[in-house]
Amino acid sequence: MTANYLNFINGEWKSALSGKVTESKNPANKDEVVGTFQDSGQEELDQAVTVANVAFEAWKDLSSVERGNYLLKAADILETRLDDIAEAATKEMGKTLVETKGEVTRSISILRYYALEGMQKIGDVIPSANSKNILYTKRVPLGAVGIISPWNFPIAIPIWKVAPALVYGNTVVLKPASETAITAAKIVEVFAEAGLPKGVLNLVTGRGSVIGEGLIHHKGIKAISFTGSNGVGNQIANGAVARGAKFQLEMGGKNPAIILADADLDRAVTMTVDAAMKHTGQKCTATSRVLVESSVYDEVKERILAKVREIKVGNGFDADTYMGPLASKSQWETVKSYIAKGKEEGATLIHGGNVPEGPEFENGYYMEPTVFDNVTNDMAIAQEEIFGPVIGLIKVENIDEAIELANDIPFGLSASVFTSNLANSMKFIDKIDSGLVKVNGESTGSEPHAPFGGMKESSSGSREQGKSAIEFFTSLKTITITP
């Protein structure tokens, strides 16, 4: 029998007043119900926002060191529940168990990092023109904040938003993606067991059109941190600006990998394919365009094909599975539509593009790793985020053309170059329009203590993770004391 997961409001697990629940199904087997979660309405959201604002008064008065201690406890509890939470995430969104275990491990590190951030400075002393004055700054929390998290990293992204929000003194209303609501409930259980005071962290599940939209316009929410699609991000920005709320948006990417003739081709191909195909391509930092110098283009293409042919698609629990299913039917349909569009636009499909053959794939949202040749930069598959295991190969004459084409898109999240030439590396670093820049490394991946975020339409401009998180989750006071 599947479990019914509840909302968490004011330290209690509660059903939606409507009595309605939604089923969460396994994308590897769409007939398997993982569990049910609450289909909440405005009443539940109002309750959560109200208690978050009440709890804020006492929570902000704790020292940041005390708040950090709760994160340390949560990290220890999460470590004991690593297998359970990883398995839940794999069942809900199809990512391999190896990948979800890695995500839990990363989340533990994030919690411990932000726990220690509670011991760092929250302001500066500034010299005053009046030698008798004391002039300094102090960062203060915002209040109750809304967090809207995506399904592709259902453990790490909620935690890398919740942890800094809490340690800097805010209270939180979390609205997770419906595709991974059960995983989110398990994460909140960890914080509850760590002893967070009532109302400090609240979970409300339900439709984005109700709960997400409600957070955008709720006067009791002082700021919204969102990761997801550009369309929803633009709605959040418009709604937040209209009422003067702070907002933070991390959105799409169309991330290039440039492979130059002087690169270590084995390394370049391995890292490019891994960045494109792991997590079934469902990373905002996944490589989706591969710009290859013409003198090695044919060799790189054959090496990529050889590497892709080795990929085993299967159930995320199979030990030798490299790539699981796509997370949902809608994402599966989206990827299929882009593959069809690529062929219509004149790109040459040289591998994949279909559901894998075999009875084990008939009841899930599987897709073969897919490679297009003869891609031009004006094609939709070169300009638009697919969020699936699809890469397009583009031939370039040199580093300058590669950078020009790499920048000729609306997005600017992540980009990588493979080269042994220092001058080319520095040119790439200086000229690429991306928030995350990799030299001889995958376009994916970031460390918890380093800022994360993009340029252009990939971000609203602020940065997540590392010390940069304090800039969004606090306001700055400037204080002058005259004796």
| Per-residue confidence in pLDDT tens, the chain, 483 aa | 468 999 999 999 999 999 999 999 999 999 999 999 999 999 999 999 999 999 999 999 999 999 999 999 999 999 999 999 999 999 999 999 999 999 999 999 999 999 999 999 999 999 999 999 999 999 999 999 999 999 999 999 999 999 999 999 999 999 999 999 999 999 999 999 999 999 999 999 999 999 999 999 999 999 999 999 999 999 999 999 999 999 999 999 999 999 999 999 999 999 999 999 999 999 999 999 999 999 999 999 999 999 999 999 999 898 889 999 999 999 999 999 999 999 999 999 999 999 999 999 999 999 999 999 999 999 999 999 999 999 999 999 999 999 999 999 999 999 999 999 999 999 999 999 999 999 999 999 889 899 999 999 999 999 999 999 999 999 999 999 999
Residues serving a catalytic function are: 250
Q: Which residues pair with 201 in a beta bridge?
A: 172
pLDDT score recorded for residue 3: 87
Q: Which CATH number fits the domain 255-447, given the four candidates 3.40.309.10, 3.30.530.20, 3.30.160.620, 3.30.70.270? A: 3.40.309.10
Q: Read off the pTM.
A: 0.96
Distance (Å, whole) CA 259 – CA 414: 15
Question: Which residues of the chain form CATH 3.40.309.10?
Answer: 255-447
Distance (Å, whole) CA 27 – CA 29: 5
Distance (Å, whole) CA 472 – CA 459: 13
Structure tokens at 2: 């599947």
- The class that CATH gives domain 3-251+459-481 is alpha beta
Structure tokens at 241: 């600006």
- Which distant-in-sequence residues (6+ apart) come within 8 Å of 185 by Cβ? 5, 6, 8, 37, 203, 205
Decide if 466 contacts 442 (C-beta within 8 A): no
Question: Which residues of the chain form CATH 3.40.605.10?
Answer: 3-251+459-481
Of 237, 375, 205, the C-alpha closest to 297 is 375
Distance (Å, whole) CA 163 – CA 469: 10
pLDDT score recorded for residue 10: 98
